[in-house]
A and B are shown apart, each in its own frame.
Chain A
Amino acid sequence: MNIINKLTAKKDLRDMTPSEVMLRKARTHKGFKFGLGLLLVIAFLGFIAPLFISVSPFEQDLSMRLLPPAWVDGGTWQHWLGTDGNGRDYLIRILYGARISMTIGLGAACVGMLIGVTLGIIAGFFGGWVDQVVNYILTCQLALPGLLLAMTIVFLVGPSILVVIVVIGALHWTLFLVVARAATKRIRSLDYVTAAQAIGASKFQIMTRDVLPNLKNQIIVIFTLEVGVAILSEASLSFLGVGIQPPTPSWGLLIAEGKDALFYQPWLIILPGIALFLLVLSINMMGDGIRDITDPESNIE
């Protein structure tokens, strides 16, 4: 059957399957559509567009340093967004930075999800003292000044993209845990889970087969929002000089490098900042959207 037809057919909400409801909600949710659209554009610019540009983000031309964007006095259309302090094309560096941000955002959110969901399901499923231990770890994590920990670890291990991903991920799992634990507790008491247990399904089987799939929607929402948080964290770390290493063009690093030129070449700060803002904005709007869409209670006018 043709999906488009199916969707355009005016059906009563009650007759639709849950996924149909979601699709329909998604199609009418403005925030979600805007966020997704913007994200797709940024992803295209970050991953696809550089393939068609012959300039490398690492190619330096010291005689062409600190050019302003093309539309400003002294700019040239050879470098649309000007050049940085090492005479590298700023446009390609910002485009490339989208990759770095997205990779780290996704990677860190995955690490966080892995830690948080695992702990959450275990705590929710077993309850009792296990729950209390997990709760204790949670409190420790919440009380820890994250930035200080991150800096110490980066000092210890030395900075690299992988280290940054793991460190940020290891600092952002608390939301996953809280949500996964609450949902697991709820699901565990449901009839079919008790039934599964009665017919001899192992605990691991129940957790992975019955509990996990039911957490999916909520986890996706948290995951999306955490990607945004992780991207901002990476930018902050790089801004402080303990994140991504030069010459890799992380947006936070670009802002830090441009900071010295704050008053005479402010676009070095403004441009990557806007890029960062738009990316996180698109992700957050998508996250908010997914929350509304997957929430069975919500109605979108």
Chain B
Amino acid sequence: MTPIQAGLLTQLALAALAVVAAVLTPPRLRARVAGAAVVGLGVAGAVTGAWALGGGQGALRIPVSLPFDPVVLSPDRLGGLFMLVAGLVGAVSASYGISYVRGPAASRTSWSAMAVFLLALQLVPAAADAVSFLLCWELMAVSSTVLLLAEHAHRAAVRSAALWYAVMTHLSFVLLLVGFAVLADAGGGTGFAALSTVPAGSAAASLAFALLVLGFASKAGIVPLHVWLPRAHPEAPSHVSAVMSAAMVKMGVYGAVLVTIRLLPGGPAWWGLLLLAFGAVSAVYGILQASVATDLKRMLAYSTSENVGLMFLALGTGLLLRAQGSAGPADAAIAACLLLVVSHAAFKTTLFLGAGSVLHATGERDLDRLGGLGARMPTTSVAFGIGALGAAALPVTSGFVAEWALLQSLIHGANAQDRLVAVVMPVSVAVVALTAGLALLAFVKAYGIAFLARPRSEGAAAAHESAPGMRVALVLAAASVVVLGLAPGPTYTAVAAAAGLPGPQPVGWWGIDLSAVGALLDPVALTVLAVLLVVPVLVVSVRLARRQPRREVDLPWGCGGVRLSPRMQYTATSYAEPLARVFDDALRPERDVLVTHSAESRYLVERVQFQQHVGDIVEETAYRPGIRFVDRLGLLARRLQNGSIHRYLGYSFVALLAVLVVVSL
């Protein structure tokens, strides 16, 4: 038995153990026992993934009596990378969940579903044929729906979110099913080896590409198929949101990479352009919505849409440049795509777990009602801050490294001979730049409004630091953001191996050398230089502080005005107001201002009520008409069924007649 086989079997066994533990242990112990088993499952997945990434071989053959190629689980290097990411995210989130869950999220069903979900997540990248891929995919979809439904009895929004999610995820499944069917028909088998015999230039390959990419894009939350994302992420328990956002949507990216790099390499240029366009639209739209969102978790969900958009943009750039013959920048772009995957997994886990702690401590998700949490929850505050730095792609975090690699590949991709690329690349640079700028605003808003200033509600004022178990998970996740940002070299080597790119040269202190585009980044050296420059400032500060210590005064100056109430502070809504005005056409915020005048004179204002709602314009223009149409069809169909037994007997009679007529013909 090879280590990979052992790893896969261990995962199956641990998942079974977790389900049994969740069902049998009493509620008091359930979270600890089942949670520990799920953590073990995640660790087993991470170890197996790392082994596969290192080039380990091994296959688990599942005996079935279906007339297909054998159903095989056998992760390659690429699959290993994604299994590693999913396993680590799962392990950290589950260990957070042990202290976090309460109420319905701690039920037997929830813990069992969590185990099955994580197992399915880890097995999707292990699948080596279309049937097992689709099986794991469906298992992942169903178990995540169950997890999402945990709190359905308490909030109506959960039910609606689960409905949206179930519909979109099954739409994705149907597209994948048809896509793989087309490919299997052309390739003469369901194994990935058979599928990859289809020439990438053929019509069948292009049809399959379009179907599969649409299916994967829906799972990945790419605009305009993202509608489930901003509903599902806020409503799921936070540790589940973290796994969904940091690991599950990545399976959509994995699928896109699988199809375009492993199964159908060398596709035409329009494949790359299509992915790039999807990614660009998604990135800009996602981050615009995130910048104006006031619900913390909804904001993080839209930011996921943005990040996945960047991954698709990077992948599309890689394919486009490969098709046009610039191998070096193309390789850099594909590596950037996978770096984005790894870095997003790290910082989004941190942010969702941080949001969970905030929700746990204050009962609030609305940024407009938070504030002052930095003093009340110092660990959470620092961890969330690091995650926010990563999401805003600032040095020295993992997000910065990934975006830097993407920009380098973009600016070196174009050449004067190819006009298409010469136009597409600058547009992509602008898109990435605008996205980075808006991400900065969005995350300064999220951190500054929630953790700084004074509490804006009683819940925020009464906040307390979370349990030690939650803090440990948060700190681990935040540390990974910094470590991946400081030492990107090993990660880069790993992703290059996963995507089959030429071996990178190690440089400096675990730095990255994109030798194909002549660029080099060594975050440790940069940090050392920065620290050397800051030390004199700190020395002066400390000396001055010894002579004249900082003095606390009870009121800030506020330009001479006394702050009567914390409600006079800037809120998340007001913070994003200039931006909402600038992008008025794209966001279409709805504002209601209700002014009540004093009874004595209409020149005196008694109270002003302001309400703002920013809907999702894609949902309103593209989905609502479709939903209305289906609703109307449903109403029509109801007329067929009025509950009268006579009518049903009539239907049976007519059906029987029709069958007899058909048979007699």
A and B: bona fide binding partners? no
Contact surface of A with B, Cβ cutoff 8 Å: none
Q: Give me the interface of B with A, judged by CB distance under 8 Å.
A: none
